[in-house]
Amino acid sequence: MLALAAAACGSTSSTPASSSSSSSSSSSAPSGLAACTGTVTVATELPVSGNDASDGVPTQNGATLAVDQANANKTLGGCTLTLINKDDTSAQTGAHDPTQGASNMTALAGNQSVVGVVGAFNSSVCEAEEPISNAADLVQISPSCTNPGLTIPGSNSSIDTNSLRPSGKITFFRVCTTDIGQGAGLAQVAKSTLNATKAYVFDDQETYGAGLAATFITDFTKLGGTVVGHSSLPSTTTDFTSELTQAKSDGADLIFFGGTSSTGGGIIRKQMASVGLGSLPFLGGDGIQDTQFFTEAGSAGDGAYSTIAAPNTADLPTAATFVSDYTAKFNSAPGAYSANAFDAMNIIITAIKQAITANGGKIPTSPAAFRESVRANVAAINYSGAIGTTSFDSNGDTTNKLLTLWVGKNGQWTYSSTLTVQG
């Protein structure tokens, strides 16, 4: 409430340091921002409890780090950033829930002081949130929603992309590669790296999982592979052995899973052994790239493969500072999408800074004008951050298309190689 009042008034001072008269110093301050007073609110919307916590928490940490650093470095001069963290895990599902996400986004959109949101993590949640943030002209940057239909009209028959943008403007952006790229990359890995010709495909019936499985099937078939079977199972399934027995009987030499650890990734890997498929490679998308996968798969997780639509931060020179800052602050290595969230939040912060500078160093008094200004700045951004240089195309997709392959070793995801992506 305090943040709301402060930002809405624009000139209310909330910190002792900036309590001197603001009107006289605004023109004389060298940066143009020293005279800025008040707080600007940004938000994250990620699954940080329940089964997706091992995905959501490190991602939220990345965004938190960006906000803390901006406040410490006085990036916005006299203004400070306030961060609201929302959790889209619901008690009904115990994992990410589009309904919960939509309700969170409605709250954020209704909060006039919020000018940018990093999230959501899962495509199904992004899909539910996109129309809400769009109608409120609130910029939303997802670190990890990879379903192509969220941004590219006509790319997914089950998503009407244009209906996700009721205002007609582009308000939803993402810093990750879409599943068009990821599916093609995974098919490439299956065919060339793992020498598979017969794949048995599982998916979890969700926007992300079913979409990824569909693009994988298309691309794998295009490369000359055969899909011997395909099972779409509810995300609550705990026994996959009947399907795996069928896969064995069909002579599958690869098990592919479109889904996340919370919807069965680690369990399938574990159960492969009990039907005599323990030696087969298991391949999945970025949804299984977390610690939860190994909690469930145990030692069977070794030899599983997954890609993520993000770089290997440990290997990337631009990410070195980020990795050491993150590790120092959170006492743990960054997660798969921590750097994406860090850059996404920094892009929003940069856009906010530009908006305030353009307004003569003050927070725009009209919340709607402030949001629109931030949105336009994000659309036009050219930001060099931890994951490289990010700018957005006319759909809101990043031009910095990254995909890396990781393999399970000793209970951890270990970097294997970087893939080239066209999609």
Partner 1 sequence: MSAATEAAVPGQRPAIRVRRRFHFGLSQRQFLVVLVAVFILLFVLMVLESGAATAGNEVWRGLVLGAIYALIAVGYTLVYGIIELINFAHGDVFTLSCFYSIFLAGIPGVQPGFFQRFFGFNLNALAGSGPGGLVLALLIIFPITMTLAGLTGVLIERVAYRRLRDAPRLAPLITAVGVSFLLEGIMFAFFIPPAPPGHPGYATPGSAYPTGEDGWIPTTQVLFHLGGSNGVIIGANDMLVVVVAIVAMFALSGFIRYSRTGKAMRASAQNRDAALLCGININRTIAATFFIGSAMAAVGGIIYSMHYHTITWNQGYQFGLIAFTAAVLGGIGNIVGAGIGGFLIGLIESFTVTLLPNGGSWALIVVFAVLILVLTLQPTGLLGMRVPDRA
Query: Where do contacts with partner 1 occur on this chain (CB under 8 A)?
Result: 48-51, 53-54, 57, 89, 91, 93-94, 202, 205, 229-234, 236, 238-243, 245-246, 248-249, 262, 266-267, 270-271, 273-276, 278, 291-292, 294-296, 298, 330-332, 411-412
Nearer to partner 1, 322 or 392 (CB): 322
Q: Which of 59, 84, 83, 60 is nearest to 71 (CA)?
A: 83
- Collapsing DSSP to helix, strand or coil, 106 comes out as helix
Nearer to partner 1, 54 or 124 (CB): 54
Backbone angles phi, psi at 398, to 5 degrees: -70, 145
Minimum distance of partner 1 from residue 90's CB (angstroms): 10
Minimum distance of partner 1 from residue 410's CB (angstroms): 10
Minimum distance of partner 1 from residue 207's CB (angstroms): 16
Nearer to partner 1, 41 or 291 (CB): 291
Minimum distance of partner 1 from residue 190's CB (angstroms): 19
User: How long, in residues, is the chain?
Assistant: 423
Maximum pairwise Cα distance, the chain: 80
Pairing of the two strands 383-385 and 388-390: antiparallel
Minimum distance of partner 1 from residue 277's CB (angstroms): 10
Nearer to partner 1, 112 or 226 (CB): 226
Buried b (16+ CB within 10 A) or exposed e, 168-186: ebbbbbbbbbbbbbbbbbb
Minimum distance of partner 1 from residue 242's CB (angstroms): 4
Nearer to partner 1, 91 or 328 (CB): 91
Nearer to partner 1, 152 or 233 (CB): 233
DSSP code string of 172-221? EEESS--HHHHHHHHHHIIIIIS--SEEEEEE-SSHHHHHHHHHHHHHHH
Q: Which of 236, 212, 240, 238 is nearest to 124 (CA)?
A: 212
Q: Which residue has the tokens 């409430």?
A: 1
Nearer to partner 1, 37 or 54 (CB): 54
Q: Which of 132, 30, 36 is nearest to 79 (CA)?
A: 36
The answer to whether the Cα torsion of 263, 265, 266, 270 is positive or negative is positive
Minimum distance of partner 1 from residue 58's CB (angstroms): 8
User: Taking the CB of residue 71, how many other CB atoms lie within 10 A of it?
Assistant: 17
